[in-house]
Structure 1
Amino acid sequence: MQKPISITALTSISPLGKTLDEAWKSYQNKHHCIVEKSFGETTALVAEIPQHAKEAISEIKESDPKYKSLDPSVLYAIYASREAVKLADWNASDNFGINIGSSRGATELFETYYDDFLKNGKAQTLSSPTTTLGNISSWVAHDLQTQGPEISHSITCSTALHSMLNGIAWIHAGMCNKFLVGGSEAPLTPFTIAQMQALKVYSKVKLNNDCHSELVEESFPCRALDLIKKQNTMVLGEGASMACLELGIKENALATIKGYGYATEILKHNISISSDAKCFQKSMQMALGDFNPDDIDAIVMHAPGTIKGDLSEYNAIKKVFCNKTPALTTNKWKVGHSFGASGMLSIEMAVLMLKHQAFIKVPFLENQNDPERLQNVLVNAVGFGGNAVSILLSK
């Protein structure tokens, strides 16, 4: 790492709510945010943003005629970006850069347009410009009126952390002093969920209640980080999360980025990584650099809730941290897997733990380590294609 970079603001809209305070409050209970949703004649388990967050999105959509034709993935990004820039006290004259990625992009809008095309044999006028992947960053840049560079990309489930890598690279290169980075995803659509079900990775666990239940005991449809589960339990979630990056250690920093790593491994199958996740081993070792592995207090794992995905990442951690395994956690049991936005929601979880000096456990796991301190937290993400990213955060 050439120089440390500060995260001076962090915001999200997710199943946890639409502010950091709401997210932290939600993390204090042991209930998940997963519900059963109908898709025509079928149902599936999903993690949606709550009603009051949906109302905030509706307000944006109705505020400008141009926004009415935008996909939820773009609207989520606009909301989270507005809040992040406001908290960081940035303005358009700062000419900050923007890099917001998405794994799937405008899924809802694309499926709607395509259904209409099949029925009528004609494409609607806005079907192309409103479904291109680049429209997320470009619409955010339009909304914030910044003149800095804007980048969009898709690197499956590690997309948001690749956005952070891009922001770090631009800042270190001296091409930009500030960068807004993150991911946005609205994948709760029939075809997207059907794709995950076709891969045999989607949860079939029966749902008893949701995250608002007063019951003490409940089933957990997504068994992320449960290494003895007998079936895959991935559940899709939605949301967006943004971080404001600035060079150096700032007084208003929520956390500082002390290291980063990335790696891609040769795949034997389209969706799998090696049993000991060599890509994660390389990305974590790169992120650590000269850092003593024993000084890492916790790791927020990618842990998608699949048998092979969870176990391979765990095996990689054991290989890298052979002397002392840090405390391990994940948030996908609670908020589902939001594809391209998931990495930044994991960053949010890490920052909240550092801020409040409290470790967020996975409620159904026994004998979890509870670190004595939280000074250094590693965050992992990986996606289809074996593209891993690891980010080292310090208080």
Structure 2
Amino acid sequence: MELKRVVVTGLGALTPIGNTVDEYWNGLVNGVSGAAPITHFDASKFKTRFACEVKNFDVKQFIDRKEARKMDRFTQYAMVAADEAVLDSHLDLETIDKDRVGVIWGAGIGGLETFQNEVINYANGDGTPRFNPFFIPKMIADIAPGQISIKYGFRGPNFATVSACASSSNAIIDALNYIRLGYADVMVSGGSEATVAPAGIGGFNALQALSTRNDDPKTASRPFDKDRDGFVSGEGAGALILEEYEHAIARGAKIYAEVGGGGLSADAHHITAPHPEGLGAKNVMLNCLKDAGLKPEDVDAINMHGTSTPLGDIAESKAILDVFGEHAYTININSTKSMTGHLLGAAGAVEAIASILAIKNGIVPPTINHFTDDDRIDSKLNFTFNKAQKRNVKVAMSNTFGFGGHNACVLFKKLD
């Protein structure tokens, strides 16, 4: 069976460094940090008191107040990003076959804030169960793709992917496969997350996963730096419109890039720590290249998972050297998490957009906040430190890895 080609025809983003795709890209190429003291709640007693929050966001500008109250923030973010992507794609919603349009969306945690608040309200009450009737529909991770499909009437494949921080990359790969196998013409895909809440910050603090650089939040996310001390929690959403190539050409769609392939693997090692030699990361990149029918030397850029954790950055760097050999030194590799923080389940989608725009614009965004080399990481690798670099990017990969050892890699290429 010959697989159909799949292209990207629309993008949407709501991030800590920009509330549209254009704002997000401008923030990336200019090395803007989205980290700042937490405003969503009083974090004064927490070990970490800063995060990469979405800023200047008024949900009432996008969603009716009554409807917004039925949604957790992660769903609100999903709706806004998806709307930008659908508008950007210029799909004719009046004539398109909506039975052939689906939504696959990723969220690592989903409605954490809703769950937290409902439990707190119950615990502070008199023991009588008085739960919000929308408690469950607001909380469940699959409600975001459900809400998107309801808004537009998309009746194709519809579900959520949950693989921790790899969730939205999994969603993109699933969407890719549904189209290239012929089950859909168009898929809305991506991910969203909103865990900057007491339960999220407190939980990750307990794991000792977060940076505690409270005196200097903007430089706290420093992937590959010797003095990195954990990731910075982020929030937001990224949305992509994936479309069958001939379908896109027939309607004269703007095409950003082709989705070349996707790879999956498991570390099978530890619930939170990566395999020390980067075995799962190595396998997922090899699997992605095989799926795309490309060779290691074809790759120009890699948006690394690069969370700014002591172990993860080392393991992923080793994996890149194992996969690409000497060619690794010619690749522009970077971590946009140095600017956005770690958007958990939304990371894959937001970073996929960065990879796509690197191809479109011929610019690789920087890895900011690099001050001191780590002698456990090969300093000859080009991490695109501190300043964006111009480059003709024909093929870009995006890595995302999640707790539980879940690994996903998506490859995009310039349209032939």
- The alignment's TM-score, normalised by the length of structure 2, stands at 0.86
What does residue range 29-40 of structure 1 map to in structure 2 within 5 Å?
A: 29-37=30-38, 39-40=41-42
- Spell out, residue by residue over 1:40-96, the C-alpha distance to the aligned partner (whole angstroms, 9 max, x if none): 342522001121xx12x23234x1523322111111111111111111122264321
Q: Which residue of 2 aligns with 1:296?
A: 299
Task: Quote how far apart the aligned CAs of 1:237 are.
Answer: 0.5
| Alpha-carbon distance in structure 2 between the residues aligned to 1:77 and 1:189 | 18
Shift of 1:313: 0.7
**C-alpha distance in structure 1 between counterparts of 2:217 and 2:306, whole Å:** 23
Moved more, 175-184 or 290-299: 290-299
1:308 paired to 2:316 = no
Work out whether residues 35 and 207 of structure 1, in 8 Å CA contact, stay in contact via their aligned partners in 2: no
Cα distance, 1:163–1:209 mapped onto 2, change above 3 Å: closer
Contact preservation (8 Å) 1:225, 1:329: no
Which residue of structure 2 lines up, in the alignment, with residue 245 of structure 1?
242
Q: Bigger shift: 236-245 or 169-178?
A: 169-178
Task: Provide the C-alpha distance between the structure 1 equivalents of 2:307 and 2:223, rounded to a whole number of angstroms.
Answer: 6
- Partner of residue 183 from structure 1, selected from 181, 186, 191: 191
- Distance, in Å, in 2 between the alignment partners of 1:371 and 1:129 is 45
Aligned to 2:231: 234
Check the 8 A contact 1:159/1:341 in 2, yes or no.
Answer: yes
Q: Report the equivalent of 2:411.
A: 392
Structure 2 counterpart of 1:343: 348
- Aligned mates of 1:148, 1:123 — CA distance in 2: 36
Q: Secondary structure at the match of 2:314?
A: helix
**1:214 corresponds to:** none
Segment drifting more, 243-252 vs 165-174: 243-252
Aligned counterpart, 1:71: 72
Question: SS at the partner of 2:273?
Answer: coil
Alpha-carbon separation, structure 2, partners of 1:207 and 1:243: 36
Q: 2:267 aligns with which of 265, 281, 289?
A: 265
Q: 3-state DSSP class of the match of 2:393?
A: coil
CA distance in 2, matches of 1:371, 1:26: 16
What are the residue-to-residue correspondences of 1:1-395 with 2, within 5 Å?
2-37=3-38, 39-40=41-42, 41-43=44-46, 44-51=49-56, 54-55=57-58, 57-61=59-63, 63=64, 65-90=66-91, 91=93, 93-95=96-98, 96-120=101-125, 121=127, 122-124=129-131, 125-208=133-216, 220-226=219-225, 228-229=226-227, 231-248=228-245, 250=249, 252-267=254-269, 269-289=270-290, 290-325=293-328, 326-365=331-370, 368=382, 372-395=391-414
- TM-score of the pair, normalised by structure 1: 0.91
Distance 2:80 2:97 in 1: 19
CA distance in 1, matches of 2:274, 2:216: 33
SS at match of 2:113: helix
Aligned sequence identity (%): 23
Kept in 2: contact 1:106–1:132 (CA 8 A)? yes
Q: Once the 2 structures are TM-superposed, how far is the Cα of residue 359 of structure 1 from its aligned partner?
A: 1.6
The structural deviation recorded for 1:381 is 0.5
Deviation for aligned residue 1:173: 2.2
Question: Which secondary structure does the structure 2 equivalent of 1:82 belong to?
Answer: helix
Which deviates the most, 246-255 or 7-16?
246-255
Amino acid at match of 1:26: G
Over 3 Å counting, the alpha-carbon distance change for 1:174 and 1:306 in structure 2 is: same
What displacement does 1:151 show?
Answer: 0.6
- Once residues 66 and 355 of structure 1 are traced to their aligned partners in structure 2, the CA distance between those partners, rounded to angstroms, is 36
Residues in 2 aligned to 1:159 and 1:280: alpha-carbon distance in whole angstroms: 16
Q: Secondary structure at the match of 2:137?
A: coil
Q: Give the gaps of 5 or more residues in structure 2.
A: 374-379
Whether the 8 Å CA contact 1:298–1:371 is kept in 2: the answer is: no
Distance 1:321 1:16, change over 3 A: same
SS across alignment from 2:80: helix
State whether residues 180 and 242 of structure 1, in contact with CA within 8 Å, keep that contact through their aligned partners in structure 2.
Answer: yes
Map Cα deviations across residues 90-125 of structure 1 (whole Å, 9 max, x no partner).
226432100112111011111111111112221412
* Structure 1 residues without counterparts, runs of 5 or longer: 211-219
Is the CA contact (8 Å cut-off) linking 2:3 and 2:181 kept in structure 1?
Answer: no
CA RMSD of aligned residues (A): 1.9
Superposed CA offset, 1:290-347 (max 9, x none): 4121121110001111010111111100100112112110111111101000011111
Q: CA deviation at 1:372?
A: 4.4
Where does residue 376 of structure 2 map in the other structure?
none
Q: Read off the aligned partner of 1:330 and give its amino acid letter.
A: S
Query: What is the rounded CA distance, in whole Å, between the counterparts of 2:272 and 2:113 in structure 1?
Result: 23
Matches of 1:175 and 1:296 in 2, distance apart?
29
Give the distance between the partners of 2:145 and 2:325, measured in 1 at CA.
41
For the 8 Å contact 2:176–2:259, the answer to whether it is kept is: no
Amino acid at match of 1:156: A
Q: Contact 1:36/1:207 (CA < 8 Å) preserved in 2? A: no
